[in-house]
Structures are given as structure tokens and as C-alpha cells.
Chains A and B, each alone.
Chain A
Amino acid sequence: MAHVKFTPNLQRFFPDLCECMIDAATVADIIPAVDDRWRGLADYIVDEQGALRKHVNIFVGGELLRDKQTLSDRVSADTQVFIVQALSGG
């Protein structure tokens, strides 16, 4: 079970978004699971080819996600996964 947290900025689009526990072996497994709960959320995190959006970051156990194309980074019980926006924009 991964412990998934989100930037509060996503609550503008998903007002009831909250921390959750997801049964997952990789970060890629987490995306459809959270999309089931908050329909459309996956499109905010990854593009239609499954790659992480350019200005989104995911921290896995405190480290930046390594595989931004297929999100194959493994997670285990108690792994903290934090989905945030990159520090970019203007």
C-alpha cells in the first residue's frame, strides 16, 4: 500500500481530493487507481501516452521519480508518494 498525497493546488479542480492508501506495485499502478476515485485526475498528472506531464513532479519515498515515461518506479508498503507541480510557470 502506498501512501499517496497531492499538492493542495489540485483541489481547485478536484475539491474533495485527499490523501489515500493505494495498493500498488509501481507508481504507474497508482494513476488509474486515483482516477477511479477522482474521475479525470489522471489527465492532470500524465499525458495520453502515460508519461508524466512536463511540469508535474512525483516524489517516491522522498526521491524524485526516475522513470517519467512509464512510471515504473517501484513502491512498497508504507512508501510515501507525493504528487506535486514542478516549480515553473509565470
Chain B
Amino acid sequence: MPNKLLVGTRKGLLIMSRNGASDWQVESAHFEAIPVVYAFRDPRTDTIWVSLDHGHWGGKLHRSRDGGASRQEVEAPKYPEGDTVPPDFSVPAKTNYIWLIEPGGADEPNRLYVGTDPGGLFVSDDGGDSFQLVETLWKHHSNTHWFGAGRDHPGTVAIQVDPRDSRHITVGISVGGVYVSSDGGESWQARNRGLFADYLPDPHHEHGHDPHIILASPSNPDVLWQQNHCGTYRSENGGLQWQDISDKSGGPAGFGFALAVDAKDERVAWVAPAVSAEYRVPVERALVICRTEDGGATWQNLRKGLPQRHCYDLIFRHALDNNGDTLAFGTTAGNFYVSDDRGDNWRCLMHNLAVVYTVRFM
């Protein structure tokens, strides 16, 4: 069983540890009163990385190499002087928000990727001491099709490095779409075939799609899962072709933000649906996690232990995670739930957190 969790909220970071078989306790609290956008532990270097969104002082990056006991601020990624933001290039580019931090491959322990608003992907090859903008993606010919959704500017919200080949990188830009590099970021191809964008004049356009999150199946990284603005999608060929796997039976799986993928079985994933983009509340005001065990052909609606009346909790894109049979998620209403049986039964560990932005097993 996994034993530790990083929970980032609008009011700080909690490190939680398992206390017995079924209970969890808050081991320590960090960055109190500061919004924690993302936090994860890099297993290659045993380093905890934290992205902060100071309301006043800008986005910051911190790392801890001793399990959180001490922290060091590192210089946040910066856009080159004179750069401007797509699609109209009238606004100076600056790091507005650090969406996530992802490790490079196991064979490149000093490499890190950072995804930002206004859409830039950054890379570090010195363990995060410095970051460089990946210009090849930032200046991709399709960037005139990027734009903001929910925020003023586009954001790099998903980064997946192929465990079989560190030069194979899949990136999600919201709004922009899915991009894949097979040469370590030297060039990028858009991979949006099969996606539907109901907000575009041409919903099947090659660009301008809105992946909220993309995850690769660890057991077969050719299998990609995507919670998109316009449905839940899966690809069996690295994004060359996507299939809409939203629940066709009328069940809730469809619109949402969060996604978790089973480590051992490429057919198994979980999503956390809401009604729609225009109606961002739980379906029938009842909290549900949906699980598929057959690659999205069918969905099971997991509700035991979750509130089923007058519920307004949403689950943000990085606020659901899994490790083995254990799943955990936090909500916009500050509730925090855990299941130790793959989502069949849930229990609420905390009711009174601030908005939860990120949940990651350590």
C-alpha cells in the first residue's frame, strides 16, 4: 500500500502519511496560505517539487531534497525578452502560472519539464537549476490556433515522457491540442485526429483542441488516455487516432478534468465527471468516480461513500491519483477522499481543506 501523499491546496501543501491500514494523518504542512498548484516527488532523485501561485509575487518553484524538512526556491522559468503570447502575439509573454512539473526519463536524471501559462513548455537539464523554453513547440506553426480556456492564455497542462524512449514526449496544450515529439523536443507533430471540438467552426480541425489532461498507460505507453473538454478519449497508437470513449449509455463519464490510469492494465482508468463546460457541477449534484475496465467500452459509476445529494464538488485535473489499488482525490470544496479497493468504496478523510489543486502519491 502507498504510504504518503502530497496534497496541494489554495492555502498550502499537506504531506499525509498512512497511519495503520485505513487511516491517514497530516504529517506536516508547508507554504501555509500560499496556493500550491502542483506538487510531486521525483523518484529518480527523491526530490519533492512544488509549484506556487503567489497572488501577488508571481509563480514560484521550490524543491526539497529531504522529504519536505527544508525547501529551496529555484528560479522559475522565464520567457525570452520580447516574446509574445499566441494567438494574436500582442501580449508580452511571461510565466503567469506553473501548471505542472514532470520528470524526464530514468536515463536522464537531471532532466525536468515544466508546463506553464501562457502555453510554453520548459526543459531543464541541470536538475532544475535553470530552465529553457522549448522554442520548437512554442513557435510551432499551429500556435495561431492556441487560446485560453478558463484562463486568459493557453497552458501546457500535460507532459508524458515515454518510459521506453525518453526522446518520445507527449504534450497537451489547453487550448491547442496534443503534440508529440519523437526526437527529444527538436520537432513536434500535432496528434488530434478523432478529437471533436464543439467550440470550433470546424470541430474536426487539425488544431485547437482542448486536452484537460493526458496520461499514458504505464504497462503499454502506446495507449494514451485523455480527458478532453469535449469528452473522454483513448488512443492505442500514441495519439495517431483517438476514440471517443465517453459513456454512450447515458452515464456521467464525458466532461471533466481529472484522470487516473492503472499501472498494470492498459484497459483500466478512472475519470471524475461534471455535467458540462457550461454547467460545472457534479452530474445530478452527486459525486461519482467512473471506472472502465475494458478500454472505455463500458463504465462503472462508483458512488459508495461519496455524497449523493446537494453536492457541488468538482475535481481539478491534477487532483486525482492512484497507486496500486489505492485512489485519492481532493475537491474544489475542500473535501478529500481515499479508496483502497480501486474506487469501489470511498471514505472522506477531511472536509475542511481549501480548494484542492493537486493530489499525488509520493
A interface residues (Cβ-Cβ under 8 A, vs B): 9-10, 13, 40, 43-45, 47-49, 51, 53, 55-56, 85-86, 88-90
Contact = CB atoms under 8 A, between A and B. Distances in A.
Given A43-B75, A48-B79, A48-B81, A53 B95 contact: no
A25 B266 CA distance: 63
Contact of A51 (B56, B57, B76, B92): B92
B58 interface: yes
Contacts of B60: 43
Max chain A Cβ within 10 angstroms of own Cβ: one of B58, B82, B92 = B58
14 contacts: A40-B75, A43-B58, A43-B75, A44-B54, A44-B56, A44-B57, A44-B58, A48-B81, A48-B94, A49-B93, A51-B94, A86-B56, A88-B56, A89-B56
B267 interface: no
A48 B95 contact: yes
Contacts of B54: 44
B17 to A, nearest CB: 27
A47 B94 contact: yes
B328 to A, nearest CB: 26
Interchain residue pairs A-B with the least CB separation, the first 7: A48-B78, A47-B94, A44-B57, A85-B56, A89-B55, A49-B92, A55-B56
A13 B55 contact: no
B56 A56 contact: yes
Interface in B290-347: none
Given A47-B94, A47-B95, A48-B94, A53 B57 contact: yes
B39 to A, nearest CB: 18
Contact of B55 (A47, A51, A88): A88
